[in-house]
Structure 1
Amino acid sequence: MTRTVEFILDLGAPNGYLAWYPLKDVVSRTGAELVVTPVFLGGMHKITGNSPPMMRDANVKGKVPYAALEFRRFLDRHGLDKFSMHPDLPFNTILLQRVLVAASDQAEMQSLVDLLQPAVWERNIDCSDVEVVAEVLASGGFDAERLLTATQDPEVKARLAANTEQAVERGAFGIPTFFVGDEMWFGKERLGQLEEYLSGGKP
């Protein structure tokens, strides 16, 4: 039986970018099905009381530098040499997340993720600039007008809010979060555990 891996994603999370490419490899190796669920990380943090690690851990001696070391090791291990930390982090991703929600199906949504991840985390676009986002979408062959118009649709807005609330209700508190059924993993460092589970191992 094919298992489904649900990726809880906000494009404004650098660890979401780092997890995306190795996750697709895991899915390919295990024969699993990938489903992306867009959420709004700012809303998730508000509901859970969480905050970005560099802010949350700023006063813990040694923790932020060590996190940066692990971050660099992950980039090197997976050959993610085009990554560039966005100078505006943390920034508002509500426009991009609504674009993902407005996708017609999972295939289009995942193609949008493939297009937008490097735009955000390699070229560091202004994620709140409608014209900039429109140019990126058009360059990828998408109907930018359709997608951007849909970001103002009350149904799209409500669906993103519902995705966020439901993810928190299931236990999510940050990005990247992965679900296989009711089993949850948090963090790019858990991809090995996720692959073991998909291959028949215990969670």
Structure 2
Amino acid sequence: MAKQIEFFYDYLSPFSYLADTQLPAIARRTGAEIVYRPILMGAVMKNAGNAGPLSIPSKAAYNVAEFQRWAKRYGVPAQFSPYFP
């Protein structure tokens, strides 16, 4: 059976972006195929009764800082859209 990486991602998630910058190298290194599975994380969270991280100010600030730290570590651009959220 061929190796697969199932990547469940949301276009609005900055962390999905970060993961996607790293997946091709992981796939090459392991000989796996990436299977992209788009989801609507907001709908998943709402269905589970959870609020999104941007709805809690302290959590939103932490997520922005954490996103920037990981982007720096990966050496990828980290700029939020002025139109989001």
TM-score by length of 1: 0.37
Across the two proteins, how many residue pairs are aligned to each other?
85
Larger Rg: 1
Aligned to 1:38: 38
Structure number having the greater strand percentage: 2
Aligned to 2:76: 80
Greater mean deviation of Cα atoms: 24-33 or 39-48: 39-48
Structure having greater relative contact order (Cα 8 Å, sep ≥ 6) = 1
RMSD, aligned CA: 2.1
Aligned to 1:89: 84
| Residue identity opposite 2:65 in structure 1 | L
TM-score by length of 2: 0.78
- In 1, Cα distance between equivalents of 2:43 and 2:62: 27
Seq. identity, %: 35
The unaligned stretches of length 5 or more in structure 2 are none
Task: Note closer, same or farther for the CA distance 1:48–1:70 as it changes in structure 2 (3 Å cut).
Answer: same
| Residue identity opposite 1:14 in structure 2 | P
- In 2, Cα distance between equivalents of 1:10 and 1:42: 9
**Deviations 1:140-174, CA, capped at 9 Å, x for gaps:** xxxxxxxxxxxxxxxxxxxxxxxxxxxxxxxxxxx
